[in-house]
């Protein structure tokens, strides 16, 4: 299987490592910035670097991995699908539901497999919660809490021109960071149907939000809260806590980027606690270290994705599955704007 990487920035190296571990060949990389593409190819021993998706596809590529800014995902995914390549796309799938609908439709029409990266689902501790929901140990959660308490240096928003505006980033902490935890909440609690939200920008020199709070209502009748910010110094990591009829399970990531652990497992007969702050607070770590430490879980998800193509089955996170967290984001921004509860557009409404 021949793989091409599009977008040679912060996260792309994880894709190279993961595709190689899945016994595929990374044959080319592409970036609109020719120097960045060439440097990335040299650093990772990739034979060819190009500046357009068409040039990437010309020599014959079976899979395209999309590591470009969110609003550009659609053009890359649809171009790759039109040429018959399978496509793996970074999160969030897109910044609006119409684009996500066009992406899934294009991949369906071409008969190619669309997968979307939500590698935190592949933490063993996250899989353990999902299994405990499925086997009835926890049961369907009726209460959830997600906190996303992160540090970003202001330079994070100024280093890359696409960050921090509605048009080129699509949103702030909700879209870029908390989307992982929103994905986990809805993976554990089921379809989210209505939200209320408020957001603000307290620290960073950006147009989009750096801080937000929300409540979420699920089709099951369950409720959850969300608090998210990139304005903390120091950051305190992230946590998702869910309570079902059988008990409560927590999933904590500290420092940011490290493997999530079950910080609390409050199921009668199987109780355990493990503080993610066991060795004390650490100072904030550079973004490159955060992204690098995500690599083992990119590797697990990309192994699933490659196996899905080889086996002719759906990957763990399809385009439609990834559209669910985008639908929640859409409702969160609508509620913050209207000041009222807003419905989450259903997946049927998201199709073109």
Ligand X SMILES: NC(=O)c1ccc[n+]([C@@H]2O[C@H](COP(=O)([O-])OP(=O)(O)OC[C@H]3O[C@@H](n4cnc5c(N)ncnc54)[C@H](O)[C@@H]3O)[C@@H](O)[C@H]2O)c1
Tell me how far, at minimum, the Cβ of 10 lies from ligand X, in Å. 4
Backbone angles phi, psi at 262, to 5 degrees: -80, 95
The rounded distance, in Å, linking the Cα atoms of 92 and 99 is 11
Tell me how far, at minimum, the Cβ of 117 lies from ligand X, in Å. 4
Kindly state whether residue 291 participates in binding ligand X, applying the rule CB under 6 A. Answer: yes
**Per-residue three-class SS string for the chain:** CEEEEECCCCCHHHHHHHHHHCCCEEEEEECCCHHHHHHHHHHHCCCEEECCHHHHHCCCCCEEEECCCHHHHHHHHHHHHHCCCEEEECCCCCCCHHHHHHHHHHHHHHCCCEEECCHHHHCHHHHHHHHHHHCCCCCCCCEEEEEEECECCHHHHHHCCCCCCHHHHCCCHHHHHHHHHHHHHHHHHCCEEEEEEEEECCCCCCCCCCEEEEEEEECCCCEEEEEEECECCCCCEEEEEEEECCEEEEEEECCCCCCCECCEEECCCCCEECCCCCCCCCCCCCHHHHHHHCHHHHHHHHHHHHHHHHHCCCCCCEHHHHHHHHHHHHHHHHHHHHCCCEECCCCCCCCC
Kindly state whether residue 48 participates in binding ligand X, applying the rule CB under 6 A. Answer: no
Kindly state whether residue 160 participates in binding ligand X, applying the rule CB under 6 A. Answer: yes
Tell me how far, at minimum, the Cβ of 317 lies from ligand X, in Å. 11
Kindly state whether residue 296 participates in binding ligand X, applying the rule CB under 6 A. Answer: no
Residue closer to ligand X by CB (options 68, 140) is: 68
Kindly state whether residue 70 participates in binding ligand X, applying the rule CB under 6 A. Answer: yes
- Which of 5, 6, 126, 178: binder of ligand X (CB under 6 A)? 6
Residue with tokens 């870029």: 176
Q: Under a CB-based contact definition with an 8 Å cutoff, are residues 85 and 63 in contact?
A: yes
Kindly state whether residue 10 participates in binding ligand X, applying the rule CB under 6 A. Answer: yes
Q: What does the block give as tokens for 304?
A: 């699933």
Residue closer to ligand X by CB (options 31, 263) is: 31
Residue closer to ligand X by CB (options 294, 336) is: 294
Binding flags for ligand X, 238-277, as an x/- string (CB under 6 A): ----------------------------------------
Residue closer to ligand X by CB (options 75, 143) is: 75
Residue closer to ligand X by CB (options 7, 235) is: 7
Tell me how far, at minimum, the Cβ of 119 lies from ligand X, in Å. 6
Q: Which residue's CB atom is positioned nearest to ligand X?
A: 9
Question: Interacting stretch for ligand X, rule CB under 6 A, among 7-15, 41-49, 93-101, 185-193?
Answer: 7-15
Residue closer to ligand X by CB (options 52, 275) is: 52
Kindly state whether residue 137 participates in binding ligand X, applying the rule CB under 6 A. Answer: no
Kindly state whether residue 8 participates in binding ligand X, applying the rule CB under 6 A. Answer: yes
Question: Interacting stretch for ligand X, rule CB under 6 A, among 24-32, 41-49, 143-151, 187-195?
Answer: 24-32
The footprint of ligand X on this chain (CB under 6 A) covers a number of residues equal to 25
Residues lying near ligand X in the complex (CB under 6 A) are found at: 6-11, 30-33, 36, 67-70, 72, 76, 90-91, 117, 119, 160, 176, 291, 294
């Amino acid at each position: 299987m021949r793989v091409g990487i599009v977008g040679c920035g912060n996260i792309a190296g994880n894709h190279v490592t993961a595709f190689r571990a899945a016994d595929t060949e990374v044959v080319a990389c592409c970036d609109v910035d020719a120097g960045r593409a060439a440097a990335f190819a040299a650093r990772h021993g990739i034979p060819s670097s190009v500046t357009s998706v068409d040039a990437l596809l010309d020599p014959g590529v079976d899979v395209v991995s999309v590591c470009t800014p969110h609003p550009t995902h659609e053009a890359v995914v649809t171009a790759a699908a039109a040429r018959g390549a399978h496509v793996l796309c970074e999160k969030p799938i897109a910044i609006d539901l119409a684009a996500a609908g066009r992406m899934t439709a294009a991949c369906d029409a071409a008969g190619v497999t669309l997968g979307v990266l939500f590698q935190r689902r592949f933490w063993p501790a996250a899989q353990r919660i999902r299994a405990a929901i499925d086997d009835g140990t926890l049961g369907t959660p009726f209460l959830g809490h997600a906190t996303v308490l992160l540090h970003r240096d202001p330079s994070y928003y100024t280093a890359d021109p696409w960050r921090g505006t509605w048009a080129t980033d699509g949103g702030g902490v909700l879209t870029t960071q908390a989307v992982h935890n929103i994905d986990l909440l809805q993976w554990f609690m089921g379809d989210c149907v209505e939200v209320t939200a408020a957001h603000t920008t307290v620290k960073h020199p950006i147009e989009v939000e750096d801080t937000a709070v929300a409540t979420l209502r699920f089709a099951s009748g369950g409720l959850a809260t969300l608090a998210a910010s990139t304005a903390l110094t120091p950051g305190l990591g992230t946590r998702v806590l869910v309570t079902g009829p059988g008990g409560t399970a927590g999933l904590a990531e500290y420092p940011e980027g490290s493997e999530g652990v079950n910080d609390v497992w409050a199921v009668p007969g199987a109780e355990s606690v493990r503080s993610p702050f066991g060795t004390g607070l650490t100072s904030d770590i550079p973004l490159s270290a955060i992204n690098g430490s995500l690599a083992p879980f990119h590797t697990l998800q990309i192994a699933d994705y490659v196996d899905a193509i080889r086996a002719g089955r759906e990957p763990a996170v399809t385009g439609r599955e990834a559209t669910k967290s985008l639908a929640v984001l859409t409702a969160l921004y609508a509620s913050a704007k209207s000041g009222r509860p807003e419905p989450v557009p259903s997946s049927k409404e998201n199709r073109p």
